[in-house]
Amino acid sequence: MKCFIPLMLSVFTGLIHAQNCIAQKPGKKMVDTQTPRDAVPFVQHDSISKNDLQKTWELDFSDEFNDNKIDTRKWTIEHSTKKRVDITLFADERQVEEKDGQIYIYYRKAPEKNDSAYYAGRFNSKGKYANTYGFSEARMHLVKPNGYQTAFWMMPDSGVSMTNADTHDGTANDGAEIDIVEGNRLKSYSLGLHWDGYAKGTHKGTGSGKNKIPNLHDVEYHVFGLEWAPTFLKYYCDGKVIKEITDSKAIPQVAEFIIFSGSCWGISDWVDGDVRKNDFIQQGGIEKGYIDYVRVYKLREQ
């Protein structure tokens, strides 16, 4: 069992009745039996006790990653190919492994494909679990960026709101890319929101790209969280609010699924480093990011 020691938690804003709508598939709670029964969201606040939060929140989904294989009732390992300007990125089942109480995302070179090919693992809960509102958090180790990153994020579970096929309405109400953490810098990380697709002229977004956290990559674990209500998004790191979004046009109102992903870059101003110049990877090394647990809470009915 892993240790989860929530500290003090924040006062909620009084939108309980609106947040009781948690949408998920297949329509039942999907809680890992090894998740502590008294688990609550990890939020540091002096004015509320753990007992208060147990009365407010209840687990709706969790995975402690304590087995020897991925739970396919909850997750799908992605098989994909992404071409960047100077490299090609592949994902397959060999780049994700659950063992030793973690789930690992591997980063490596793919010389059997070509000299500019790389692997990075990805897995998601699309079609298996999605929530509307609640508190999502993951305790994880971000790979130290040197041409790559680890990310914890969400996407709309249905519809085409993040594609160019949709008629965009100027809001995130019909779904958005919610980036809870993208570990792209040595001393900071990115978080944010994207909606109305990715094409120039229609894409919209907001967020923060320079969230400085002491020992971001030197400490093994950090807990990244998202508190999502009909009127706000609160982004957390290690129990503290890093950013709050309250613009009504920027708050998704539809179910979103969970994604954990690795990515690699060559020439890029997005991440620190260049995977093509990463001696460890070029010499056959395997880098890894990993997740200790993921938990999603919904508000208890009052």
Contact 140, 259 (CB under 8 A): no
Both tokens assigned to 178: 């919610």
Q: What is the pTM of this model?
A: 0.90
Domain locations along the chain: 16-299
| CATH class, 16-299 region | mainly beta
pLDDT in tens, 80-100: 999 999 999 999 999 999 999
Contact 189, 103 (CB under 8 A): no
Pairing mode of beta strands 177-182, 130-131: unpaired
Nearest 5°: the CA angle 166, 172, 178 is 105
Q: Report residue 5's pLDDT band, with 50, 70 and 90 as the boundaries.
A: very low
Per-residue pLDDT, averaged over 109-115, amounts to 96
Q: What is the per-residue pLDDT for 50?
A: 78
Per-residue pLDDT, averaged over 269-291, amounts to 97
Q: What is the per-residue pLDDT for 271?
A: 97
Q: Facing residues of 298 across strands?
A: 58
273: region left, alpha or beta (phi > 0 left; psi from -120 to 50 alpha)? left
pLDDT in tens, 37-68: 999 999 887 666 778 788 889 999 999 999 99
DSSP-based three-state secondary structure for 297:
strand
Q: Which of 158, 161, 159 is nearest to 176 (CA)?
A: 161
Per-residue pLDDT, averaged over 120-149, amounts to 97
Query: Sign (positive/negative) of CA torsion 271, 275, 281, 283?
Result: negative
Residues in the chain: 302
What percent of the chain lies above the pLDDT cut of 90? 77
Q: Facing residues of 284 across strands?
A: none
Q: Is 261 exposed, middle or buried (0-12, 13-18, 19+ CB in 10 A)?
A: buried
pLDDT in tens, 251-270: 999 999 999 999 999 999 99
Phi, then psi, of 17 in degrees rounded to 5:
-60, -35
